[in-house]
Amino acid sequence: MALDVAESETIARVREIATRLKPLEGPLLPILHEVQETFGHVPASALPAIADVLNLTAAEVHGTMSFYPDFRTAPAGRTVVKICRAEACKAMGGDALAAEVQERMGLGWHETSADERATLEPVYCLGLCACAPAAMVGDTLIGRADAAAVLRAAGEDTA
């Protein structure tokens, strides 16, 4: 099957990233991070290209990528909303926070809105245990979070 121009360019860029970072000790994670930073996700076509450069199997690359929840296989929305699901946050109302944010955004975990405005993700500890429940909207941490604060930070209608 012939590759389209965009996919060929993607593979070429992935190969360039992998080749440049290959000399690092343990280069796979830095490569995956840079590929995701470049494309907003790790395209499926990147896995065999990375595997080839590192002399690994595509299954080994996929296994590493799928182990870490921050790697994406599809682009995220413009705003990523993360709700902490760890024990301290759950004990302080994290389940209710998550349920209300999910309901008001109309999204389940790992879903992106149809207009690609937002993606909702669970996260397992933001390091704000003393200020639970916690959330993160983009790069902004929210301690003692409530749904209104999370939705406001995400630019969602809080009505």
Q: Among 3.40.50.1820, 3.40.30.10, 3.40.50.10470, 1.10.1040.10, name the CATH number for the domain at 79-153.
A: 3.40.30.10
Structure tokens at 121: 């993700």
pLDDT at residue 131, rounded to an integer: 97
What's the pLDDT tens digit per position in 88-118?
999 999 999 999 999 999 999 999 999 999 9
pLDDT at residue 158, rounded to an integer: 56
Q: Which residues are annotated as a binding site for [2Fe-2S] cluster?
A: 84, 89, 125, 129
What's the pLDDT tens digit per position in 59-92?
999 999 999 988 999 999 999 999 999 999 999 9
- When pLDDT is cut at 50, 70 and 90, the band that residue 157 belongs to is low
Alpha-carbon distances, residue 156 vs 6, 64, 93, 113, 144 (angstroms): 33, 34, 21, 11, 19
Measured at the CA of 45, the angle between CA 42 and CA 51, to 5 degrees, comes to 85
pLDDT at residue 69, rounded to an integer: 86
Q: CA–CA separation, 118 vs 156, rounded Å?
A: 9
Can you give the C-alpha Rg of the chain in angstroms?
A: 18
Q: Which residues are annotated as a binding site?
A: 84, 89, 125, 129
